[in-house]
Structures are given as C-alpha cells and as structure tokens.
Amino acid sequence: MSVLEETFNLFKDWYSRLKVHKASGGVAKGTICAALVVLETLKEDFNLDINSHLAAGGAQIKGASGAAVARILERFGETRPFSKEGGRTNRGAPGDINKMLKALNKSRIKEVSEEERVIILEKLQLFLVDKVREYHNRQRIYFAFDPSKTTRQLISDLLEVARETGKEGPVAQHLVGAKLQLRFPKKQ
C-alpha cells in the first residue's frame, strides 16, 4: 500500500469516527474548517503535535478563521459561503484535530519528501472540500403551503417535517425570529 493510500485510509477512518450532528446531518462545520486550516499549516510546518496548532489559551486552533477557510475552499473551486467563524467557536475542534494529527502520525507520511507530503495533504483537503460540497448540496426542508389550514396547523406541520430531519430546533428559532421581526420591524 502506498503512503498516500495508507494516509488517506487513516484520515477517512478519523473522519468517520467524528460525531455527526443531527441538526446539520453531518460533522460539525467547525471541525471541517479547523482540519482544513491545520492541513494547510502542515504543508509549511509539518508538526504533528497538537500544541503547535493551538492558539494562546488552548481552546482554539491557531489561524482558524472564516477568511482562511474561504481561501482554502476557493483554491479548490468552492466559493459558496461555508462558515463565518471558520472553526474558531467550535470547542470540540482541538480534540478532533488532535485525533486527526494522531491518525496522520500513524501513517508513513513523515517519511516521504516534502513535495510528496504536500500532495498527500492536498488530497486530504480535497476530501474535506467534497464534504463541504455535500453540505451545500444537501436537500433542504420542503413544505407545501395549504391555504385551507389555520396558521397553527401550518406551523405544526412545518415543525413535524423539521422534526423528521432533525431540524426542529433551528426551524423553531427561525419562526420565532420571523415573528419578532414582524412584530418589531424597527428593532434590529
């Protein structure tokens, strides 16, 4: 097995073990963002110690930002907005990234030339970019408006559809926000 295949398999195994969030239907966006940023850093400074990737205080990944993630995604042709925070607010990201670094450390990636290593890291980033594309292409909630139903029935039906996809909480928040905006149009 080549170093690329070995590293890619270990990386995919790491990804498959990440917690899936019911509301988004996938891995936390912040973890994907943090991983993209750390893989980018590894191209220049191949250090698999988590401490070298943590910002002061240890709660955030160094260099993680919406702009940094957007630049990486754009390089792969993905220009749709993904995350304004870029992994900064994901408290679980350092632990997830530590596991990713440990997975990479199990591979022979440290034995290859720098040029080969950059190619492998690009392949890992492409895997994550494909996950971002899957996120954008995921089917949204579809709801058919029936004018014969009362507002109460319509909202109940909408929340039921949302419940089936694990998005009841976010949909309820949007409904409350919409009502508040209608009730207080001059307040921001």
For residue range 37-56, list pLDDT tens digits in order: 999 999 999 999 999 999 88
**Res. 28: pLDDT tops 80:** yes
| Per-residue b or e along 98-119, where b marks 16 or more CB atoms closer than 10 Å to that residue's CB | bbbbebbeebebeebeeeebee
**Res. 180: pLDDT tops 90:** no
Q: Where is pLDDT greater, at 170 or 43?
A: 43
What is the residue type of 59? Answer: A
What is the residue type of 42? Answer: L
Q: Where is pLDDT greater, at 28 or 77?
A: 77
Domain locations along the chain: 3-137, 139-188
List the one residue out of 46, 160, 155 whose CA is nearest residue 109: 46
pLDDT at res. 103? 97
**Res. 22: pLDDT tops 70:** no
List the one residue out of 67, 97, 71 whose CA is nearest residue 84: 67
> Is 62 in contact with 83 (CB distance < 8 Å)?
no
**Res. 89: pLDDT tops 70:** no
Cα 183 from chain centre: 34
Q: Where is pLDDT greater, at 44 or 177?
A: 44
The whole-chain average pLDDT of the chain stands at 89
Q: What is the spatial distance between Cα 63 and Cα 122, in angstroms, rounded to a whole number?
A: 18
**Res. 154: pLDDT tops 80:** yes
pTM of the predicted protein model: 0.76
- CA angle at residue 70 from 140 to 18, to 5 degrees? 60
Residues 100-145 have pLDDT tens digits of 999 999 999 999 999 999 999 999 999 999 999 988 877 677 788 8
Q: What is the spatial distance between Cα 162 and Cα 1, in angstroms, rounded to a whole number?
A: 44
Percent of residues in the chain assigned helix, strand, coil, to nearest 5: 60, 5, 35
Q: Where is pLDDT greater, at 138 or 172?
A: 172
pLDDT at res. 139? 64
**Res. 84: pLDDT tops 90:** no
pLDDT at res. 88? 66
